Structure 1
């Protein structure tokens, strides 16, 4: 890849700041990205190829800069950059620099990273939240794919890049980015629609399936039967005749053992409520944009998934609390997917309709105990704590600023001040202030 900008040269932002080019990071179909220094701060600078530096692209960038980032997860355009103070024959833009701790989904697919289910559920949850906030501003991303998303395999935090193609969701786009193959909604593949919020929802579901299964939701038997994977074949598979690999009523595209092993291994690991979301997304939602899973629905499901994680007492593998599976197995959880030994359910906290597994590393957040702070995961308000002398005794420690009122099974009521703990005893009720929880076993 040739370099459009000379290392060590200086360009200027529209707002008048000098920007020094330090290193070449990489290039793509639209231009090249550099590490740059602006007033002592390292940023990323994208510079367009001449054929991509169109007036329409510049107008769109200016609108995005005025609008501002929907959330901190977006590496959003901050300012336009010109090659010369006096002219605008070429241009680019500056944006926050991606932190080294963030890895691509390609790293996941190639097994260069091995994130936990907790990290994957957190990343998926943050993706749903991020695109909810983008769509709430009347914008559509147009190119949701694993090439534009990065996540921290330890924490699950995400960053979303390539935001210069985001556009107003007016349903009128007739040119520009249509998306990335395999992520594009079927109606766009067929030429029957243009990118919109509704097509973003399909792409988001594909991205979540990839993240959790390391596989595409439409690539099963039909994909294995293709001898020449050319454009007509892709149009059939992803646009004209798409079929979910786990469609419960049509097994014609079921995954093939030895080819699609990731899908076959991961699908049964997940709880029924998550699988049902994917079934809806890729059956009804495959053909009817109005039947697609909304970002808010994904957010609720992925939060439930994260809260339902439990550890195998034998091998330590993460499993999931699945109420429907319990009903189908005489009230007993299915064996651990990893070692096939019986699982022992931990103490659980029920708050409203939600159930949180009380593992050794569980933390509660404002989301869990205050209905007015839904999806606020900024700071933990409680955590599990082991008794210093009795190692088999655990409690839930109050990390909030308010006292809890606890009612024991025998009716005794006591306060749990900040910094103190309540022992895990089945039947204990905790009044958190805005909501009551009950510990169960």
Structure 2
């Protein structure tokens, strides 16, 4: 297999379970990953290079495994594996096998055929799931330390994500051997500022870089200055990302604006990005560079991405999806340039204990209302929990309504005060002014 471990080799977990090596998956900066056979079925094994199989790394793994954390968005370490027949020290760890439906983020930039059908809605969904995954990790007091586009895999059909290489995550404040990947590292880490250590605050910078790359297909600091660099060596990267980082759309410093002739993609994508997201990028890549405590938090990204996702609409001229400013005017289509006609929208109000929150959903064809729309502070957006769905009339083409996909009736109230039940499976027309009582303290009204 041309790897450190031969096919058929027998290894063992610390509890004595036998592990049989089947084949090499691939290699990375820290070690090699193999498919192995275990008493509980196939698993993946990451085996460290000898020079990296250190006591500190083993302690980090033991700490992560002891947490016994189960989250389907993470390939979490499950057990330490050693070779009882070898005289050379070495170890690795077991994790679940990555399902084939997940692809790496760089596949988007390589324009791989497998991800070519990824839509704008799916990209925003991927960004939202990434933010929520790291929010969950951080809420447990764990810093990932090396957020970059090589550690995230996504399903181009659903937007589901999978976080890999979790063996570098440590409890906030603990020591680790990994500081990050320079392109994604916070400037204070790149510079090596006194007292600067990888942690949750530096993760927030890396997360913002990852989101920018995902949505803009470009690095936030690689503008005109990067084009003037003849050799992008380590010294050049330190200047670009650490010593003198300038956001390409810093409103007060235009020295690093992207070149409109050479860097057309980021110019075009930034121009159609909703202002709610542009404002967050500007904040985290300007004041956030100087004051780490003011970097955009995961909940801010989550709320903004969720609103943008609910505002996705389709151009009636060319059929392309467009990102609209939540609650704002109709955008010009990024593809054909026509003004996009906004359909009827739904404003959901959720009341809990004297407080209320509102959400606006653009009711484009096939748009859906989900269970997370009916709670004021969702921990996780679940796009399988459908509450309502925009459907087309079976006999009248072009006429749409909102179909009840729950197992209980809604109550529809007309402007004149009359009411009517909307049982499961029945549809209510998208008429401005109609009010729906959805249950659980949630109600919604249709509006233009």
Counterpart position of 1:237: 240
TM-superposition CA deviations, 1:295-332 (whole Å, max 9, x none): 11111111111111000001011112325763xxxxxx
Please, which moves more after superposition, 394-403 or 127-136? Answer: 394-403
| CA shift for structure 1 position 40 | 5.5
Number of residue pairs the alignment of both structures matches: 433
Q: Which of 435, 444, 447 is 1:440 aligned to? A: 447
Q: 1:416 to 1:317 in 2, by over 3 A?
A: same
* 1:103-150 deviation per Cα after TM superposition (whole angstroms, max 9, x unaligned): 112111111133111111111101110101101111100100001111
Sort the Cα spacing of 1:229 and 1:88 in 2 relative to 1 into closer, same or farther, 3 A.
closer
1:413 equivalent in alignment to 2:426: no
Change (3 A) 1:168 1:40: closer
The equivalent residue for 1:150 is 153
Residues 77-100 of structure 1 deviation map (CA, whole Å, 9 limit, x = unaligned): 011111118989321111011111
What SS does structure 2 have at the residue aligned with 1:202? helix
Matching residue of 1:334:
331
Partner residue in 2 for 1:345: 342
> Which residue number in structure 2 is paired with residue 360 of structure 1?
365
Q: Deviations 1:348-392 (Å, cap 9, x if unpaired)?
A: 111133211111111111111233656442411111121111122
Mark the CA change 1:373 to 1:234 in structure 2 (over 3 Å): closer, same or farther: closer
RMSD: 1.8
In structure 2, relative to structure 1, the CA distance for the partners of 1:325 and 1:398 (3 Å cut) is closer
List, as ranges, runs of 4+ consecutive aligned residues in structure 1 with deviation greater than 4 Å: 85-88
Distance 1:310 1:256 in 2: 30
Pair 1:417–1:49, CA change in 2 (3 A): same
TM-score (norm 1): 0.94
Match of 1:4 in 2: 4
SS of equivalent to 2:66: helix
- 3-state DSSP of counterpart to 2:81: strand
* 1:21-60 map, 5 Å: 21-39=21-39, 41-60=41-60
Q: Is 1:105–1:150's contact at 8 Å kept on the other side of the alignment?
A: yes
Aligned equivalents of 1:8, 1:50: Cα separation in 2: 20
Q: How far apart, in 2, do the equivalents of 1:232 and 1:325 lie?
A: 44
- Note closer, same or farther for the CA distance 1:364–1:96 as it changes in structure 2 (3 Å cut): same
Q: Does 1:265 align with 2:268?
A: yes
Residues 304 and 372 of structure 1, relative CA distance in 2, 3 Å threshold? closer
CA distance in 2, matches of 1:263, 1:70: 37
Between the aligned partners of 1:188 and 1:323, the Cα distance in structure 2 is 35
Question: 1:410, CA displacement in angstroms?
Answer: 3.0
* Rounded Cα–Cα distance in structure 2 between residues aligned with 1:356 and 1:209: 24
Whether the aligned pair in 1 keeps the contact of 2:307 and 2:326 (CA below 8 Å) is: no
Secondary structure of the residue aligned to 1:381 is strand
Q: Distance in 2 between matches of 1:432 and 1:304?
A: 20
SS at match of 1:211: helix
Shift of residue 10 of structure 1? Answer: 1.6
8 Å CA contact 1:82–1:88 kept in 2: the answer is no
Q: For residues 64 and 85 of structure 1, do their structure 2 counterparts lie closer, same or farther at Cα, with a shift above 3 Å needed? A: farther
Structure 1 gap segments, 5+ residues each: 327-332
Aligned 8 A contact 1:424 1:439 in 2: yes
Quick check: 1:393 aligned with 2:390? no
Aligned to 1:218: 221
Contact 2:324-2:331 within 8 A present in 1 as well: no
Cα 1:363–1:188 change in 2 (3 A) is same
Specify whether residues 90 and 409 from structure 1 end up closer, same or farther in structure 2 by C-alpha distance, changes over 3 A only: same
Matches within 5 A, 1:118-197: 118-170=121-173, 173=175, 176-192=177-193, 193-197=196-200
Paired residue secondary structure (1:426): coil
Q: Secondary structure at the match of 2:125?
A: helix
Deviation string 1:225-251 (CA, Å, 9 cap, x unpaired) is: 112222222111111111100111211
Name the TM-score, length of structure 2 as normaliser: 0.93
Aligned residue for 1:16? Answer: 16
Q: Which residue of 2 aligns with 1:73?
A: 73
